[in-house]
Amino acid sequence: MMAQYLEIKAAHADALLFYRMGDFYEMFFDDAVAAAQALDIALTKRGKHDGDDIPMCGVPVHAAEGYLLTLIRKGFRVAVCEQLESPAEAKKRGSKSVVKRDVVRLVTPGTLTEDALLEARRHNFLAAFANVRDTFALAWTDISTGAFHVVALPAVRLGPELARLAPSELVVADTPEAPYELAEDLGIALTPIGRSSFDSTGAEKRLCALFQVATLESFGSFDRAEVSALGALVEYLDMTQKGKLPLLQPPRKEAQNRVVQIDAATRRNLELTRSLSGTRDGSLLSVIDRTVTPGGARMLDQRLSSPTRDLETVQSRLAALDFARDNARIAADLREALRKAPDLDRALSRLALDRGGPRDLAAIRAALTQADHLNTRLSSLAPPELLASAAADLTGFEDLLALLDAALVADPPLMVRDGGFIARGFDPELDETTDLRDQGRGVIAQMQSRYAEQTGISSLKIKHNNVLGYFIETTATHAPKMLSAPLSETYIHRQTTANQVRFTTVELSELETKILNAGNRALELEKRLYERLRSEILGHAPRIHTAARALAEIDLATALADLSISENWCRPIVDTSRSFEITGGRHPVVERALKRDGGTGFVANDCTLNASDGAAIWLLTGPNMAGKSTFLRQNALIAVLAQIGSYVPADHAHIGMISQLFSRVGASDDLARGRSTFMVEMVETAAILNQADDRALVILDEIGRGTATYDGLSIAWATLEHLNETNRTRALFATHYHELTTLATKLDGVENATVAVKEWQGEVIFLHEVRKGAADRSYGVQVAQLAGLPDSVVARARVVLEALEKGEREGGNRQKALIDDLPLFAAAPPPPPPVVTAKSPVDDLLATIHPDELSPRDALDLLYKLKEASTT
Question: What string of DSSP letters covers 137-185?
Answer: EEEEEETTTTEEEEEE--GGGHHHHHHHH--SEEEEESSTTS-HHHHHH
Tens digit of pLDDT for each residue in 662-699? Answer: 988 765 544 445 556 777 788 888 889 998 999 999 99
> CA 281, 545, 218, 353 torsion: positive or negative?
positive
Domain of 514 in residue numbering reads as 428-532
Better-predicted residue by pLDDT, 415 or 563: 563
Give the CATH number for residue 92.
Answer: 3.40.1170.10
Instruction: Give the pLDDT band (50/70/90) at residue 811.
Output: low
408: three-class secondary structure by DSSP: strand
Pair 76, 178 in one domain: no
Q: Who's near 677: CB < 8 A, 6+ residues apart?
A: 667, 668, 669, 706
pLDDT of residue 812: 53
Single-letter residue type at 411: D
Residue 566 domain flag: no
Residue 667 domain flag: yes
Residue 683, classified by CB atoms within 10 Å of its CB into exposed (0-12), middle (13-18) or buried (19+), is middle
Q: How far is CA 551 from CA 343, 383, 558, in A?
A: 10, 15, 11
pLDDT of residue 672: 44
pLDDT of residue 63: 87
pLDDT of residue 284: 95
Question: Please, are residues 175 and 194 in contact by the beta-carbon 8 Å criterion?
Answer: no
Show the DSSP H helices in 540-627 as ranges: 541-567, 588-596
Pair 198, 81 in one domain: no
Residue 356 domain flag: no
Give the CATH number for residue 520.
Answer: 1.10.1420.10
Nearest Cα residue to 650 out of 663, 661, 639, 662: 639
Rounded CA-CA distance 278/263 in Å is 17
Pair 691, 752 in one domain: yes
| Strands 101-107 and 78-83, bridge-based pairing | antiparallel
356 is in an annotated binding site: no
Residue 639, classified by CB atoms within 10 Å of its CB into exposed (0-12), middle (13-18) or buried (19+), is buried
Nearest Cα residue to 269 out of 627, 620, 663: 663
Q: How far is CA 625 from CA 282, 738, 797, in A?
A: 19, 17, 19
Rounded CA-CA distance 522/427 in Å is 11
Pair 741, 796 in one domain: no
712 is in an annotated binding site: no
Residue 579 φ then ψ, to 5° = -75, 155
Q: How far is CA 61 from CA 46, 68, 73, 326, 519, in A?
A: 19, 11, 19, 52, 25
Pair 762, 794 in one domain: no
Rounded CA-CA distance 238/236 in Å is 5
Pair 590, 644 in one domain: yes
Residue 695 domain flag: yes
Percent of the chain with pLDDT over 90: 51
Give the CATH number for residue 654.
Answer: 3.40.50.300
Structural domains of the chain, count: 6
Single-letter residue type at 442: G
Q: How far is CA 279 from CA 170, 272, 611, 613, 854, in A?
A: 21, 11, 37, 40, 44
pLDDT of residue 348: 93
Question: Please, are residues 193 and 128 in contact by the beta-carbon 8 Å criterion?
Answer: no
Q: How much helix, strand and coil, in percent to the nearest 5, is found in the chain?
A: 50, 20, 30
Question: Please, are residues 211 and 227 in contact by the beta-carbon 8 Å criterion?
Answer: no
pLDDT of residue 837: 59
Pair 478, 583 in one domain: no
Rounded CA-CA distance 529/519 in Å is 15
H or E, element range at 652: strand 652-656
> CA 181, 184, 186, 192 torsion: positive or negative?
positive
Q: Who's near 832: CB < 8 A, 6+ residues apart?
A: 791
Tens digit of pLDDT for each residue in 737-758? Answer: 878 888 888 888 899 998 887 7
pLDDT of residue 671: 45
Pair 689, 778 in one domain: yes
pLDDT of residue 137 exceeding 70, the answer is: yes
pLDDT of residue 824: 47
- Residue range 168-180: mean pLDDT, rounded: 90
Residue 462, classified by CB atoms within 10 Å of its CB into exposed (0-12), middle (13-18) or buried (19+), is buried
Residue 287 domain flag: no
Give the CATH number for residue 207.
Answer: 3.30.420.110
pLDDT of residue 536: 94
Q: Who's near 41: CB < 8 A, 6+ residues apart?
A: 35, 57, 59
pLDDT of residue 670: 47
624 is in an annotated binding site: yes
Residue 232 domain flag: no
Rounded CA-CA distance 635/390 in Å is 32
Better-predicted residue by pLDDT, 341 or 829: 341
pLDDT of residue 708 exceeding 80, the answer is: no
463 is in an annotated binding site: no
Pair 476, 617 in one domain: no
Residue 188 domain flag: yes
CA–CA–CA angle 670, 306, 308 (5° rounding): 140
Rounded CA-CA distance 585/627 in Å is 13
625 is in an annotated binding site: yes
Instruction: Give the pLDDT band (50/70/90) at residue 471.
Output: very high
Q: How far is CA 355 from CA 26, 62, 122, 310, 348, in A?
A: 21, 14, 20, 39, 10
Tens digit of pLDDT for each residue in 752-799? Answer: 998 887 777 666 677 788 888 887 666 666 666 666 778 777 777 777
Pair 588, 728 in one domain: yes
Rounded CA-CA distance 194/437 in Å is 54
Show the DSSP H helices in 585-708 as ranges: 588-596, 628-643, 677-691
Cα atoms in the Cβ-side hemisphere of radius 13 Å centred on 209:
11
Rounded CA-CA distance 708/687 in Å is 22
Pair 776, 796 in one domain: no
pLDDT of residue 24: 92
pLDDT of residue 669: 46
Better-predicted residue by pLDDT, 269 or 816: 269
Tens digit of pLDDT for each residue in 429-460? Answer: 898 888 877 777 778 888 899 999 999 999 89
Q: How far is CA 316 from CA 293, 323, 570, 645, in A?
A: 21, 11, 16, 8
Residue 640 domain flag: yes
Q: DSSP assignment of 270-286, as one string?
A: HTSSS-TTSSSTTSHHH
- Give the global pTM: 0.82
Pair 734, 814 in one domain: no
663 is in an annotated binding site: no
pLDDT of residue 15: 93
Least confident of 75-79, 576-580, 715-719: 715-719
Cα atoms in the Cβ-side hemisphere of radius 13 Å centred on 290:
17
Q: How far is CA 433 from CA 413, 463, 519, in A?
A: 19, 22, 8
Dihedral of the CA atoms 703, 705, 708, 714 (nearest 10)?
A: 20
Question: Please, are residues 155 and 175 in contact by the beta-carbon 8 Å criterion?
Answer: no
Rounded CA-CA distance 407/770 in Å is 65
Better-predicted residue by pLDDT, 364 or 255: 364
> CA 803, 804, 807, 808 torsion: positive or negative?
negative
